[in-house]
Structure 1
Amino acid sequence: MMEEAELCFPQLLNTSCKKFTRPQSESMLIYILMSFISLFTVILNLLVIVSISHFRQLHTPTNLLLLSLAVSDLFVGLFVMPFQVLLTEPCWLLGDLLCCLFFFLGFIIVPSSEVNMVLISVDRYVAICDPLHYSTKITQKRVKICVLLCWVSCVFYSFMILYDNLKELGRYNSCYGECVINIFGAVHLVIAFILPISTIVILYLRVFVVAVSQARAMRSHITAVKLQSSVTVTVKKSELKAARTLGVVVAVFLMCYCPYYCVSLSRSDITMASSTNTFINFLLLLNSCLNPVIYAFFYPWFRKSVKLIVTLQILQPHSSQANIM
């Protein structure tokens, strides 16, 4: 009887997985933390989605990219995070189909967030480094096409990387009660991490260099002696602000994604067993909660739109044409 109590499926003595024990305090911490982060992720990204969708003044190419990013991060909070909580349980009881479906959705939603970040970095690169041609290069139509291609490519990528797992459900499970998939860790590392982060870092470094050089050029043209000191201070503050903002973007992305992909490089199996796995997956998903903070809270229009949403002023007639810029 003692052995049966330690099995995920006691009726399957020879094929059932054994339950691993986890301290109750650790389980409670995981549930509370993941539930809070999931709720916070959904609320923040919903505010971004409602703001950009409702107010016509925000219907710009850049904000369309922010909208797509918010949608992918919203799906992380709604679908990926709750399933991730279930993966921390001692046993997977929902069957092989839902196990594979969870990872299939995950490999669509999480990479789409990364691709949207790359598109945003490209948008900002053109806006800073080639401002005269920005309006002709970055149009609403082109941005919509890029967003569509982003989601289609992520669906295709998820199907390809999980093809063997989808073809034969549960083929990599060693016993009943497991949720295990097999992927090419090195390929996933290159496509889903090295290429996006390299693109983001290179573009943002270029943006920062150009922004600093423009600020210095503007400062060199100041000839009024009385204003020289005050302008110098202002320019220096703007340089520091630009450096800090770009540094936060790259640092947070690295902090959230590096642990997960370092583990992916060292092994190809992704399981639900260990506390280490739980932690690195939590960090990865946390990025979807931080994205609206990084990309939206830096904009004054977002704070104004949130105020109108919370106070229900968006329900008033013609509120979509409100001036919030």
Structure 2
Amino acid sequence: YSSNITDILSLCYPHLGNSSCRRIVRPHSVYVLLYIILSSISVLTVTLNLLVIITISHFKKLHSPTNFLLLSLAVSDFCVGFIFIFQILIMDGCWYLSAGWCVFYIVFGLVTTSASVGTVVLICIDRYIAVCDPLHYATKVTVNRARMSVVLCWFSSALYTLAHLDNMKHPGGFNSCIGECVTYTHPVAKVLHLLLTFILPVSTIIILYVRVFVVAVSQARAMHSHVAVVKRQGSVKVNKSELKAARVLGVVVVVFLCCLIPLDIVVLSARFAVVNGSSVVFFLCLYYFNSCVNPMIYVFLYPWFRKCVKYILSLQILKSGSSEANIM
């Protein structure tokens, strides 16, 4: 009798019997701990990235191509903060919302993360041109081009996600039991997804930043020895601020890769087209946690960001003319 009670309690929907999915049974203290951790990360991610969004949007001194790319990354990270809410809902492996909300959760997560990957690639391209071709940076990388690149990145992410997900046509049609939220993609689409969101972006990011690192090191040595021109493939001296930006964004890129690669390796190991989200929840949370780390990197490495946060928290941005403040 007690075993029957245990079996019933381990179901997502006990009144549905064997047609219901099984819950992941954990001690109550573990559930409370996970709830506190995920809720804290969610609030912190939303708050910190909102500060980045307000900062770059409000202060005109920060309206540069590089900062517009950071703004795009902050928007995607801001959205990830809300994805944590869904992660809290499926802590026990059960999906209690409708099939429509399941589709929304999957699409919202994929669009946001795809846009995030695309934006990091754009940041790498921006730093590559700034460091490796500084003479032509102002003409090649403009504010309008940065904006158009960001819009194209988000539009492509949305179009790609909506096109390759079969869940859009059959919400809940691929669930093996009631209380499940799974993603189904055709095997060909799965290979394409791997290529477009992992292999190509990561390869591009690594190649570009290795090149940036090599040039930045040579330029730093040149400046240290008071040499105005570095005789290395005819490259010219790079502004110190560009090198500093490259280092800061290099930290962002490295942290991003450390959070992205484990998740993709786990997804690659899946042998079937249907992947249960709860089986990769830890690596998903690790990847999502990157969205909370990015603004922390700005806090520690960008003095202007710390100054802007003081402006915001003290409500000085409500004063007329505050957008013209010299915060650099």
Question: TM > 0.5 between the two?
Answer: yes
In structure 1, give the amino acid aligned to 2:160.
Answer: Y
Matched, 1:51 2:44: no
In structure 2, give the amino acid aligned to 1:171.
Answer: G
CA distance in 2, matches of 1:75, 1:116: 14
Query: C-alpha offsets along residues 45-75 of structure 1, whole Å, 9 cap, x if unaligned?
Result: 1111111111111111111111111111101
Partner of 2:193: 188
The gaps in structure 2 that reach 5 residues or longer are 229-240
Matched, 1:7 2:11: yes
Matched, 1:31 2:35: yes
In structure 2, give the amino acid aligned to 1:176.
Answer: I
Length-normalised TM-score, structure 2:
0.86
In structure 1, give the amino acid aligned to 2:201.
Answer: P
- How many equivalent pairs are there? 307
Length-normalised TM-score, structure 1:
0.87
Per-residue deviation, 1:295: 4.8
Per-residue deviation, 1:166: 1.1
Tell me: CA distance 1:307–1:195, structure 2 relative to 1, closer, same or farther (3 Å).
same
Question: Which secondary structure state, in structure 1, belongs to the residue aligned with residue 301 of structure 2?
Answer: coil
Query: C-alpha offsets along residues 257-278 of structure 1, whole Å, 9 cap, x if unaligned?
Result: 122111110114332444xx22
Identity %: 54
Per-residue deviation, 1:221: 4.5
Partner of 1:235: none
Q: Are the equivalent residues in 1 in contact too, given 2:102–2:181 (CA < 8 A)? A: yes
- Which of 135, 146, 155 is the matching residue for 1:132? 135
Tell me: CA distance 1:47–1:297, structure 2 relative to 1, closer, same or farther (3 Å).
farther
Per-residue deviation, 1:4: 4.0
Matched, 1:212 2:228: no
Question: Which secondary structure state, in structure 2, belongs to the residue aligned with residue 12 of structure 1?
Answer: helix
Q: Are the equivalent residues in 1 in contact too, given 2:25–2:92 (CA < 8 A)? A: no
- Which of 297, 305, 323 is the matching residue for 1:302? 305
Q: Are the equivalent residues in 2 in contact too, given 1:42–1:77 (CA < 8 A)? A: yes
Tell me: CA distance 1:250–1:60, structure 2 relative to 1, closer, same or farther (3 Å).
closer
Partner of 1:320: 323
Aligned pairs (5 A) from 1:240-319 = 245=248, 248-267=251-270, 268-274=273-279, 277-295=280-298, 297-319=300-322
CA distance in 2, matches of 1:242, 1:61: 12
Per-residue deviation, 1:117: 1.0
- Which of 180, 191, 197 is the matching residue for 2:202? 197
Query: C-alpha offsets along residues 123-158 of structure 1, whole Å, 9 cap, x if unaligned?
Result: 111111111111111111111110110110010121
Tell me: CA distance 1:291–1:323, structure 2 relative to 1, closer, same or farther (3 Å).
same
Q: Are the equivalent residues in 2 in contact too, given 1:186–1:264 (CA < 8 A)? A: no
- Which of 71, 84, 89 is the matching residue for 1:86? 89
RMSD over aligned CA atoms reads: 2.4
Per-residue deviation, 1:10: 3.1
CA distance in 2, matches of 1:293, 1:73: 12
Q: Are the equivalent residues in 1 in contact too, given 2:120–2:253 (CA < 8 A)? A: no
Per-residue deviation, 1:19: 2.8
In structure 2, give the amino acid aligned to 1:165.
Answer: N
Per-residue deviation, 1:195: 1.6
Query: C-alpha offsets along residues 81-121 of structure 1, whole Å, 9 cap, x if unaligned?
Result: 11111122342111211111100111101111111111111
In structure 2, give the amino acid aligned to 1:172.
Answer: F
Tell me: CA distance 1:151–1:297, structure 2 relative to 1, closer, same or farther (3 Å).
farther
Per-residue deviation, 1:186: 3.7
